[in-house]
Amino acid sequence: MGLERLRPVTGDGLFTAFHGNEAWAVAHRLLLPLFGTFRIRDMFDDMRDVADQLCLKWARCPEGTALDLGSDFTRLTLDTVALTCLDFRFNSFYRNDSLHPFVQNVDAVLAEAAKRSTLPDFARFFRFRADQKFKKSTHYLFGVCQDMINERRRRGEDASRKDVLSAMVFGRDPKTGAQLSDEHIIHNMLTFLSAGHETTSAMLTTICYYLSHYPDKLAKAQQEVDDVVGRDALNVNHIQKLPYLEAVMRESLRLVPTAPTFFVTPYDDGVLGGKYQYRKGDVLAPALEVIQRDTNHYGPDSNEFKPERMLREEFAKLSEYAFKPFGNGLRGCIGRTFVWQESLIILAKLLQNFDLKKDDPSYELKLRSDLSVKPDGFYMRVSLRHGLKATDLSATAETYRGTLGSSQEAQVRSFDPQRTMHGAPKGQPIMILHGSNTGTCEALASVLASTCIAKGFAPHVVDTMDSAVGRLSAETPIIMITASYNGSPSSNSVEMVAWLEKMAAQFEPLTDLRYAVFGCGHSDWKDTYQKVPLLVHQLMANSGAKPLVSMGASDEAAGDVFSNFADWCQASLFPALCHEYNVEVVEDKVDVTPCSGLSISVNHPTRVQVTTDMTIPVKHHLEFRFLTDAGAGYEAGDHLLVLPRNDPEFVNILLDRLGMAWDTQITIGSGRALGVQDGTRLSVAELLGAYVELPTTLTAKHIRMLAAASSGEILKSQLDRMTGADNAPCLSLLGLLDLFPTSSLTLPVILQIAAPMRPRTYSISSASATKPGHGTLVVSTVPGGIASNYLANVEKGHVVYAKLNKNPTFRTKQTLDGSTPPLVMIAVGSGLAPFRAVIQELALRVDKGGDVAVERRARHQFPAYLFYGCRGRSIDEMYAEELDAAERKGIVSVRRAYSRECEGDSPKYVTDAVTAERDLLLDLWKTRGAVLRVCAGKKIADEVWKILGPLFQDAGPTAGMPEGEESLNDMTDLQRWRQRLAPNSGSQWEGRYKEEVFS
């Protein structure tokens, strides 16, 4: 395959990495948010700018010129990727026949990779010159990319554009905290610039062939563009309203999938179609051209170009497996939304301004295949429509850009919102939860919170789905906004879904609770469309909760997410809420009252003082002492709720923009929203540093508040344009400051935008008796995380506000004489924290009693067993010597798994270590009645249960188990058993198996 031959250039980039590659996983998690709907919409202007350049080139060509579509669309797609993702201009349309040297070398490596894909491996030894040229081009590309990386680092994160390159250079993996190496950054840069543009160029060429070959379809598509866009400048709202053009695109991809296959691996042996046998682990390549022309799906005319069959209503009826041009599952094209918007822009502009004809009327589609499948030898002629001339087209583009520039300058001069502050509104409390990896659902949650205030409701919680596990109340309606990611919940909703599954297995534990669910998705992914939102909706109902309204849904393939959500809220959600809670219906209006409607409790916090900071990569060890008696007597497994502070540098930026000194005194007239008493006086630096969370996402409602507070008509007009119902912005507070560098900003507006500071939960990693009045934490630094970065940067002597939170269900009592069941502890990363506390408690007892535990070690009967996974002993293992000493004393038997320093047959992951010791664990469970505790991420916790659950289920009667318990035979019963083993389950087996899951 051509892509595999491209690996010397793109290595472990997103397209060419082998399955299971860790660098691919890190890059995928880092870049996925940048390819969400709202972030792609932000790229519209850059995409249109390059499309304008192509249109102007075609308009200026002499009439009758045969246009090489493959060449021009390659320039278009390469320039678009470079500008939007890397902030770099190749300016390919401003060069005559000589392309930018970088583009020439990209073309060279693509051509050579395509040629190599047709030759046997040994052929390269007879193609010395070609091989040397390939290496030379690769070396040049790597050098240019490294220069771009170095320049981005020199500029710094704050001064750099927030694009794909910045995410790779400055970002950290939200799961592991890891950063991409320069080599992996280069691999992904070249992935986007080579394989990333190739298939799009091929698709556009194919679409133009079909439109020019079928004049009636061309006329239909042009009429749609004329009806929607007319002679106006194309904007982001227009491209949401072109269903027939989208159908043309789908039909072209159906007949000619530019990426003709992908690879899948079966989990089990089987027979395909009744005659083709395959084995577990085989590599299978579905032939998309065959699948997407199957008459069972598309009828007897499946070989014909018929866009009508791919209109949204008809397309929705197709089998989920009938259309797969963007790949499958986790390895599906991450840039799908990018490609779709880019293609819609250029096709809409071409249809708006040009008539399309084949250069050779007798030409019939002939395909060639290298890195992609594309028309071979196809040329086209164009002529301007509506009597336009090239100068008219140029003037239209320049006028549109000039209008934006001048209006933005006016915004900066006239921005002067009101300077008043009021208290939080009263109303029926409401809880808004969101679950999203790309930020779309979070943006919608912010919009809903703002609207709730205007409607007379008080959204006292706006947070992730996982934050509300076990906190749902019948007194507060719950609005959940969530999405599916390859059929699974987002990273910040997995715990909520698991908790709801437990609730649904009981008898209506959520009776009297009222809820509503809104799902985000894309119907092109038929097999997982709205899967998680529907699951959440069903689990809530099965748990006894009552829906306020039918589930709302937004399909990115059919319209704008923001508009769909606003329509659902207006037509369904708020009428139901007002009726249910006897709230007077309030008509929509802009409310400039600066209040968030949120509250947290910060009454009588416990203060702790940091005494040491032993930093290792990603994780930090912090020792603290309690400054009051409130923390005395904590036990292993207890939590510390830490109230963090915002980055002082960011606070100073805001103060500079406000023109306020840090010690300016502020009186809070109504402090309910901030959790302080009315009339509280404090400095503005303290208010912004400790009482509200910065930065936050600005919503369309917030921007409308800025417009309403402004006295300048030009500013009002431009802000209203930014926040049209179909064009909601998604800016951070820093982004707004960058956009309006000289505008004035008021404290009331900042407080309206910000959310109150909330505490974060950490497991205490020490035994209280080890050093009375002191304790320790293990902190994993999360990119962008307020609390983890705050704790990672505190210095010795710094005072942290915190609260002790007891956690008795995680606690167990172990003795050294074997009279109690042994404790099996399974942890990953910072999940070691509570178990270190347990081990310290046991060590204190050993030291106090002089027990050297030789007999216990000889019998291999330890009071505790630890299975611990991390990257490596020399990389990020914490407390290694401490654990070794405890093992020598016979306190704990330690099994380690190193994912980066794994050697030979040693376990790589903690699940491998658990699997290798199944016999030991079964013996501990069956003969000694072992108690298990797991502290890890949701995925690891589930994988551990998949290993141990069936093992223990099949064990039969176990030590300490009551007689007469019913047998558990299938997976449904296994899930019930998992719940029965948990603390406070009401079962006689409760407490045998407990999980503490962190995100």
Alpha carbons 981 and 934: distance in angstroms, whole number: 13
Residue 404, φ and ψ in degrees, nearest 5: -65, -45
Range 851-864 average pLDDT: 63
Greatest distance between any 2 Cα atoms in the chain: 99
Alpha carbons 79 and 49: distance in angstroms, whole number: 10
User: Which residues share a beta bridge with 895?
Assistant: 867
User: Which residues share a beta bridge with 868?
Assistant: 827, 896
976-983 own/partner pairs: CB under 8 Å, 24+ apart: 976/505, 977/949, 977/953, 978/945, 978/949, 979/502, 979/505, 979/506, 983/809, 983/810
Residues 233-248: pLDDT tens digits? 898 878 888 999 999 9
Q: Which of 917, 920, 934, 951 is nearest to 992 (CA)?
A: 934
Alpha carbons 789 and 190: distance in angstroms, whole number: 32
Torsion 336-342-345-351 (CA) sign: negative
59 Cβ contact list (under 8 Å, min separation 6):
353, 354, 384, 388, 389, 390, 393, 394
Q: In this predicted structure, what is the pLDDT of residue 423?
A: 34
Alpha carbons 625 and 609: distance in angstroms, whole number: 5
Local confidence band at 404 (pLDDT 50, 70, 90 cut-offs): very low
- Tell me if 793 sits within 8 A of 647, measured CB to CB: no
Which residues of the chain are in CATH 3.40.50.360 domains?
Answer: 428-580
- Tell me if 350 sits within 8 A of 384, measured CB to CB: no
Q: In this predicted structure, what is the pLDDT of residue 951?
A: 87
Q: Is residue 368's pLDDT more than 80? A: yes
Residues 22-52: pLDDT tens digits? 888 888 888 877 777 767 887 888 999 999 9
- Tell me if 305 sits within 8 A of 214, measured CB to CB: yes
For 324, 478, 520, 532, the CA distances from 549, given in Å and listed in that order, are: 34, 12, 16, 18
**Considering the domain 646-756 in this protein, what is its CATH number?**
1.20.990.10
Residues 769-825: pLDDT tens digits? 888 888 899 888 876 678 888 888 887 777 788 888 888 878 777 777 777 889 999
User: What residue type is 952 in one-letter code?
Assistant: F
Half-sphere exposure (Cβ direction) of 958: Cα atoms closer than 13 Å? 23
Alpha-carbon Rg for the chain, nearest whole angstrom, is 31
DSSP 8-state symbol, 818: S
Higher pLDDT, 525 or 520: 520
CATH superfamily entry for domain 428-580 = Flavodoxin domain (3.40.50.360)
Strands 823-828 and 478-485 turn out to be unpaired
Q: In this predicted structure, what is the pLDDT of residue 612?
A: 52
Alpha carbons 762 and 624: distance in angstroms, whole number: 13
User: Which residues share a beta bridge with 479?
Assistant: 432, 516
**Considering the domain 812-997 in this protein, what is its CATH number?**
3.40.50.80
SS3 string, 408-473, reads: HHHHHHHCCCCCCCCCCCCCEEEEEEEECCCCHHHHHHHHHHHHHHHHCEEEEEEEECHHHCCCCC
Q: In this predicted structure, what is the pLDDT of residue 58?
A: 94
Range 279-284 average pLDDT: 88
Which residues of the chain are in CATH 1.10.630.10 domains?
Answer: 2-271+283-393
Q: In this predicted structure, what is the pLDDT of residue 836?
A: 94
Q: In this predicted structure, what is the pLDDT of residue 438?
A: 64
Q: In this predicted structure, what is the pLDDT of residue 421?
A: 25
- Tell me if 569 sits within 8 A of 576, measured CB to CB: no
Which residues of the chain are in CATH 1.20.990.10 domains?
Answer: 646-756
Q: In this predicted structure, what is the pLDDT of residue 604?
A: 33
Higher pLDDT, 231 or 371: 231
Residues 883-929: pLDDT tens digits? 999 999 899 999 999 988 888 888 999 999 999 999 999 999 888 88
- Quick one: tokens of 727? 């064009």
Local confidence band at 963 (pLDDT 50, 70, 90 cut-offs): very low
271 Cβ contact list (under 8 Å, min separation 6):
277, 278
Angle between helix axes 243-255 and 195-213 (nearest 10 degrees) is 110
Alpha carbons 761 and 639: distance in angstroms, whole number: 6
Q: Is residue 670's pLDDT more than 90? A: no
Q: Is residue 710's pLDDT more than 80? A: no
Range 357-383 average pLDDT: 91
Judged by DSSP in three states, 608 sits in strand
Q: Which of 789, 516, 510 is nearest to 648 (CA)?
A: 789
DSSP per residue over 551-596, as a string? PEEEETTTS-HHHHHHHHIIIIIHHHHHHHTTPPP-----------
Beginning with the edge strand found earlier in the chain, give each strand of the sheet holding 379-384 in spatial order.
Answer: 67-68, 379-384, 354-358
Element (H, E) at 753: helix 747-753
- 433-461 burial, b for 16+ CB within 10 Å, e for fewer? bbbbbbbbbbbbbbbbbbbbbbbbbbbbb
Q: In this predicted structure, what is the pLDDT of residue 420?
A: 24
Range 513-541 average pLDDT: 87
Alpha carbons 283 and 330: distance in angstroms, whole number: 16
Local confidence band at 402 (pLDDT 50, 70, 90 cut-offs): very low
- Tell me if 779 sits within 8 A of 629, measured CB to CB: no
Alpha carbons 346 and 337: distance in angstroms, whole number: 15
Where do we find the tokens 């040009």?
354
Local confidence band at 853 (pLDDT 50, 70, 90 cut-offs): low
* Residues in binding site: 333
Half-sphere exposure (Cβ direction) of 287: Cα atoms closer than 13 Å? 4
User: Which residues share a beta bridge with 625?
Assistant: 609, 774
Judged by DSSP in three states, 800 sits in strand
Percent of the chain scored above 90 by pLDDT? 27
- 106-116 burial, b for 16+ CB within 10 Å, e for fewer? bbbbbebbbbb
For 54, 632, 842, 843, the CA distances from 767, given in Å and listed in that order, are: 68, 11, 9, 10
CATH superfamily entry for domain 2-271+283-393 = Cytochrome P450 (1.10.630.10)
Judged by DSSP in three states, 137 sits in helix
Torsion 202-332-298-534 (CA) sign: negative
Q: Which of 71, 76, 63 is nearest to 381 (CA)?
A: 63
Alpha carbons 792 and 774: distance in angstroms, whole number: 18
User: What residue type is 460 in one-letter code?
Assistant: H
User: Which residues share a beta bridge with 623?
Assistant: 612, 776
DSSP per residue over 35-78, as a string? GSHHHHHHTHHHHHHHHHHHHHHHHHSPTT--EEHHHHHHHHHH
Torsion 980-986-987-990 (CA) sign: positive
Mean pLDDT taken over the chain: 80
Which residues of the chain are in CATH 3.40.50.80 domains?
Answer: 812-997
Q: In this predicted structure, what is the pLDDT of residue 363?
A: 95
Instruction: Name which of 258-262, 615-619, 881-885, 948-952 the model is least confident about.
Output: 615-619
Q: Is residue 201's pLDDT more than 60? A: yes
Local confidence band at 160 (pLDDT 50, 70, 90 cut-offs): confident
Q: Is residue 558's pLDDT more than 70? A: no
- Tell me if 495 sits within 8 A of 522, measured CB to CB: no
For 656, 696, 703, the CA distances from 418, given in Å and listed in that order, are: 18, 21, 14
Alpha carbons 789 and 780: distance in angstroms, whole number: 9
Local confidence band at 673 (pLDDT 50, 70, 90 cut-offs): low
The whole-model pTM stands at: 0.50
Residues 120-156: pLDDT tens digits? 777 777 888 888 888 898 899 899 899 999 999 988 8
- Tell me if 530 sits within 8 A of 482, measured CB to CB: no
Displacement of CA 206 from its chain's centroid (Å):
33
Q: In this predicted structure, what is the pLDDT of residue 350?
A: 96
* Residues in binding site for heme: 333
- How many other CB atoms sit within 10 Å of the CB of residue 366? 10
Q: Is residue 496's pLDDT more than 60? A: yes
Higher pLDDT, 216 or 737: 216
- Quick one: tokens of 552? 């709302």
- How many other CB atoms sit within 10 Å of the CB of residue 305? 19
Element (H, E) at 615: strand 606-615
User: Which residues share a beta bridge with 484?
Assistant: 489
Judged by DSSP in three states, 864 sits in strand
Element (H, E) at 667: strand 665-668
Higher pLDDT, 999 or 48: 48
Residue 211, φ and ψ in degrees, nearest 5: -65, -40
Q: In this predicted structure, what is the pLDDT of residue 999?
A: 59
